[in-house]
A and B are shown apart, each in its own frame.
Chain A
């Protein structure tokens, strides 16, 4: 009988994962990614892209504005200044909105790209574009590509884990497409954690079955599979399945341990704000993210904000209230995550990415005090994992409407993320329907200026 300890020690890749190469194209610092997805699209000009001109021209009409830019054609009103005060922080003297009192203390760590743009101006397609490079269905997400390219460093846990809105406000508008594996094998799809109960489906044994019973079952399973061993010397498909049972058995133990926060110190809990009713739920997810990458999970993606407009960063009607709420839910946890990773020496090997699916217009949306969607410009920041601390790349025009200098497409962004992970976006391909397909399609240029 194979003891539990032996099982937990076993760490052989399954035959399935052995089929892919699972190593970087070139050496890289980053070993894992934590992607913080601000669902609903934060406004660049009210967060990271300071535009004093907005205040000067507040209330003026914007001549020549193309009303089809946003989602609600015709509802683009006059220019609206930011409801928030900005001040400068760090040695980089970076302007940051007051809604980020804690993150503003980390600006020197962040590499910011102010000139990102998207092709889509509605949430679901834009989220699909941001996560798969294509605003169409059927393509693998960034997390799938990276786990396909690099494999996982922990055979007891899924390599790509997703946590969506911590307050139970539902999935992203793009639903599971955002972490789907498209045409890549299903094993590379993101494993979404449910908000209630067991974080991975069927992780907990049903009540009444003892550990001993489980072990006896595994033993019997092995015997049943080996009864005609002599006649079939080689049968990888059968062995792979037995291995996957052993792995599943180990996961029952490894996964709950990874998600269990009781072992964290009071200081750590305080740092993240896990007890704070406003930011606590996201804080717990941020803390779990750290625990997961610590245990070798390759790609973790967090979504702030749920399905409905008002339940996400989608500040159409009252930007002030909306952004204060969502910044309040995420500011401390994200700042804590950066501090925590740094203190543990994990920041160098962990690439933290933060963005939405697009930006917002510098105009007021008629009928309220919010802003409509703007695919023409938004800010993405990265930290750790070989991203250049304090780098600032690209800029928008004086009102922050459009990426002006060094525009960065989503393909470019993806090429850069893969590059930081040691993957060449032109070489990471998968043969599908007779073509070697890439995450970046036929485009994508690495933004070398933000690479340390």
Chain B
């Protein structure tokens, strides 16, 4: 079948010839002028019917009865008066394809009728994830023993219906191991195994409750589950490709990671967790601002060399796939093909993010104490800081003075208005800084509301129609001069009335010259007397305030000036370097106070348009900032508060939201059981796979969202079920009925992820540093014995070992991990120094534990440490033979044990 599609496919033996060979040519060469949009000479070539009907001028493209009698062919062969395509002839082989096609009857399948079947919107109405979950009745089943809680009832009912029975419970050893791994990502200590085994024998239910509770109380629980969330949040410590001279590190990304660890450990209700990650800045109450770190969820994505559209796209993606399980970013260029997500929904969220901005100077996290610049030796800090300050003093005041002296040009530029999608770039000497024009515009907007002494005339003059400007401007200035009570600046009025004003440009020149003049006067004055703080003359002082006041466009921090590329390009380069060096030094000390990568609502909100085909230069309909419309009318009302982030968070974290709780419950389920109730964990749209247990999903989602959004409670429900305790052993009879174990007749066996593997090695070798939280450190640093979650994640250059073991690239939200088995993984285990170092530490530990006993004792200790059990007779015999052989050593046995399937699989 496939062979027929190949290079020698013919029109006759396959109607797809048209789709594969001819339609692409028509699309590429003809349809721009002869398609649905444009029909040059009345000809359309997008259906067979229209081609046969032909154009108004030249008639049919080919004859219906004998297609090979074809005007089209003559035209493309350039054998006719008209020759097409107009610019260049098709290649000989393309023309041959047309010949072949026409000769064989011009088979051209009719367009598929879209209208067959209900529309996307109608199908959504009945979609299983479209309405808020209710609370289904717990089914009754005949299995009594296995029903520990309602989860078991739902699962057993489905098994029963399929004629299946659940598997017997796994061994207590397997159960405690899997529970440890799933909750804290570490293996159980030997004493805990023995204790649990005893408890389980006497009272399995109580033993499970105790075990789960104790693990949920462990601080390591937060580390494990923060890492799961970091996959969702595409966490990294670097930005990917950045703007010119921009810092590539997120030096404070770790504060978001620590926020996550704490949130999980404190069982922060999931609705609150969502609100903080989208809008912590809008919820602050009191001096404690530590929740700001939560905003890393939005900010820690890639930076796309500063392209705002892509940055926003990434944020829309992390919010919608991450929290709602819908793929909104498909609607950036066109309405979603499968789900009811029109482009207007995308741009409603676009508008929300475009109404936010990130400060150049990050806020310091504090529980209420006064912020400190440095936590270490202040003298050292001051010395480094003074090196940076020297550069700041060299470049910043001179830059601002240069801009003050250029005020006329900036006011003229103000008249041309904003540039809607500004991508700032370094500017050459004398080049206009559009970012600074924007600052002037913002400043002038701020002077509109009250009768501003300097700028009221400006605003009134701007309202005049340009064709009557000259005449009416005189009148306006005269009237203003008469109104003494307005207390307008006399210098401004005087100069305006003496000038000939034919347009606003003249007004800009008047203001510009006045201000530039004030600037020169002031410069001259302070040169003689540095201590001066103001002009004596009040009118002059009020003009000076425009250039030097606290709310003037020139009131800007050095870092903001740098980020806005106000400095000449060469200065920008130098000062950027000074900042990069300083930041790198600060980070290297580990003594920089914790800060947060935040974003805030902008003063000016963005009123979004749809961009046609995603192109910002082609604006379509205007839309309101709002949550996606498929959430239902009441949850997608236009936002009214600032950017709308908090309103979006409320809509997502609402019990009536049909998606949020289902998506989260399914994620947790997937982590525990190795397979979701819904396979597509980040896509709950119409193309999602149907849930294996829809009622169970709804039951859990309902209780979760109506009983306090507690993730720890959810864990308790899942892990105290009897389903959780089933053995993973294969049963051929059951496998025949349900080969993929969708009905959960056994536990899925799976390999531990890399973090769990590395962390387990460190536990087994006894080398793990168990402290919680702190700055990220490189994974390949030889003395790094912290948990893997603290590893520094460089997006553009992930540690190869992470890639090897299926760690998701943090380019975008990840909905799961690749489960590949490749020989390079085995090579790593066989030959990496890290593994061998661990093996040596493990065998040392075993030798110590066995009290320097005989070989048999050491072997027992090794098995206990690594696998939590004693060796079988066969295993023991083989180990003893191995240790007696030439060049052998105990650490080679240990090395083998930590590579073994039993060590690497959750059984």
**Residue positions of A touching B, CB distance < 8 A:** 14-16, 25-27, 124, 137-138, 158, 175-176, 180, 185-187, 189, 191, 200-206, 208-210, 212-214, 216-217, 219-221, 223-225, 227, 231-235, 237-238, 240-242, 244-245, 247-249, 251-252, 404-406, 419, 424, 426-427, 433-434, 445, 448-449, 451
* Interfacial chain A residues near B886, Cβ < 8 Å: 210, 212
Task: Please provide the 6 A-B residue pairs with the shortest distance between their CB atoms, ordered closest to farther.
Answer: A26-B6, A248-B826, A248-B823, A202-B831, A247-B823, A448-B93
* Interfacial chain A residues near B730, Cβ < 8 Å: 232-235
Residue B818 CB within 8 A of the other chain: yes
Query: A405 to B827, alpha carbons, bound, how many Å?
Result: 51
Binds A, one of B146-154, B277-285, B877-885: B877-885
**Chain B proximity of A55: nearest CB distance (Å):** 26
* Interfacial chain A residues near B818, Cβ < 8 Å: 185-186
Residue B439 CB within 8 A of the other chain: no
**Chain B proximity of A296: nearest CB distance (Å):** 15
B892 near A224: Cβ-Cβ < 8 Å:
no
Query: A406 to B92, alpha carbons, bound, how many Å?
Result: 11
Residue B905 CB within 8 A of the other chain: yes
29 contacts between A and B (CB under 8 A): A15-B821, A25-B3, A25-B6, A26-B7, A186-B803, A189-B803, A201-B828, A202-B827, A202-B830, A206-B833, A206-B836, A210-B887, A213-B885, A220-B879, A221-B896, A221-B899, A224-B897, A227-B874, A234-B730, A235-B749, A237-B749, A241-B904, A245-B826, A252-B830, A433-B330, A434-B683, A445-B28, A448-B93, A449-B91
**Chain A proximity of B474: nearest CB distance (Å):** 43
Binds A, one of B33-41, B258-266, B718-726, B804-812: B804-812
**Residue positions of B touching A, CB distance < 8 A:** 2-3, 5-7, 20, 24-25, 28, 88, 91-93, 240-241, 302, 327, 330, 338, 680, 683, 685, 687, 728-730, 732, 735, 749-751, 796-797, 800, 803-804, 806, 809, 811-812, 818, 820-833, 836, 872, 874-875, 878-879, 882, 885-888, 892-893, 895-897, 899-902, 904-905
**Chain B proximity of A266: nearest CB distance (Å):** 33
Query: A124 to B875, alpha carbons, bound, how many Å?
Result: 54
* Interfacial chain A residues near B796, Cβ < 8 Å: 175
**Chain B proximity of A3: nearest CB distance (Å):** 16
- Given contacts A424-B6, A449-B93, 13 further A-B pairs with CB under 8 A are A16-B821, A25-B6, A26-B2, A158-B824, A189-B803, A202-B827, A203-B831, A212-B885, A213-B892, A217-B830, A219-B882, A223-B878, A433-B327
* Interfacial chain B residues near A232, Cβ < 8 Å: 728-730
* Interfacial chain B residues near A427, Cβ < 8 Å: 2, 5
Query: A131 to B732, alpha carbons, bound, how many Å?
Result: 45
**Chain A proximity of B802: nearest CB distance (Å):** 10
**Chain A proximity of B179: nearest CB distance (Å):** 20
Query: A205 to B829, alpha carbons, bound, how many Å?
Result: 10
Q: Which of A15, A137, A176, A245 contacts B302 (CB 8 A)?
A: A137
A242 near B901: Cβ-Cβ < 8 Å:
yes
B803 near A124: Cβ-Cβ < 8 Å:
no
Give B338's nearest chain A residue, CB to CB: A434
Known contacts A223-B878, A233-B732, A405-B88; A251 and B751 CB within 8 A of each other: no
Query: A420 to B812, alpha carbons, bound, how many Å?
Result: 33
B5 near A26: Cβ-Cβ < 8 Å:
yes
* Interfacial chain B residues near A449, Cβ < 8 Å: 91-93
* Interfacial chain A residues near B829, Cβ < 8 Å: 245
Known contacts A186-B806, A224-B896, A237-B751; A245 and B2 CB within 8 A of each other: no
A216 near B821: Cβ-Cβ < 8 Å:
no
* Interfacial chain B residues near A426, Cβ < 8 Å: 20
Known contacts A137-B302, A138-B812, A241-B904; A220 and B822 CB within 8 A of each other: no
Query: A82 to B797, alpha carbons, bound, how many Å?
Result: 39
Q: Which of A14, A26, A175 contacts B797 (CB 8 A)?
A: A175
**Chain B proximity of A13: nearest CB distance (Å):** 12
* Interfacial chain B residues near A451, Cβ < 8 Å: 7
A406 near B833: Cβ-Cβ < 8 Å:
no
**Chain B proximity of A138: nearest CB distance (Å):** 5
**Chain A proximity of B684: nearest CB distance (Å):** 11
**Chain B proximity of A195: nearest CB distance (Å):** 15
* Interfacial chain B residues near A201, Cβ < 8 Å: 800, 824, 827-828
Give A240's nearest chain B residue, CB to CB: B821
Query: A187 to B878, alpha carbons, bound, how many Å?
Result: 34
Known contacts A201-B824, A237-B905; A224 and B875 CB within 8 A of each other: yes
**Chain A proximity of B805: nearest CB distance (Å):** 9
A217 near B895: Cβ-Cβ < 8 Å:
yes
A216 near B729: Cβ-Cβ < 8 Å:
no
B683 near A206: Cβ-Cβ < 8 Å:
no
**Chain B proximity of A56: nearest CB distance (Å):** 25
Query: A130 to B258, alpha carbons, bound, how many Å?
Result: 40
Query: A73 to B355, alpha carbons, bound, how many Å?
Result: 31
B826 near A220: Cβ-Cβ < 8 Å:
no
**Chain B proximity of A112: nearest CB distance (Å):** 15
Known contacts A237-B750, A241-B901; A186 and B820 CB within 8 A of each other: yes
* Interfacial chain B residues near A424, Cβ < 8 Å: 2, 5-6
**Chain A proximity of B875: nearest CB distance (Å):** 6
A200 near B5: Cβ-Cβ < 8 Å:
no
Give B241's nearest chain A residue, CB to CB: A124
**Chain B proximity of A277: nearest CB distance (Å):** 30
**Chain B proximity of A228: nearest CB distance (Å):** 8
* Interfacial chain A residues near B874, Cβ < 8 Å: 223, 227
**Chain B proximity of A258: nearest CB distance (Å):** 14
* Interfacial chain B residues near A240, Cβ < 8 Å: 821
Query: A230 to B864, alpha carbons, bound, how many Å?
Result: 23
* Interfacial chain B residues near A238, Cβ < 8 Å: 749, 901, 905
Query: A241 to B823, alpha carbons, bound, how many Å?
Result: 9
Query: A405 to B90, alpha carbons, bound, how many Å?
Result: 10
Give B88's nearest chain A residue, CB to CB: A405
**Chain B proximity of A182: nearest CB distance (Å):** 9
**Chain B proximity of A29: nearest CB distance (Å):** 11
Give B801's nearest chain A residue, CB to CB: A201
* Interfacial chain A residues near B338, Cβ < 8 Å: 434
* Interfacial chain A residues near B240, Cβ < 8 Å: 137
Query: A124 to B809, alpha carbons, bound, how many Å?
Result: 18
* Interfacial chain A residues near B732, Cβ < 8 Å: 233-234
* Interfacial chain A residues near B895, Cβ < 8 Å: 217
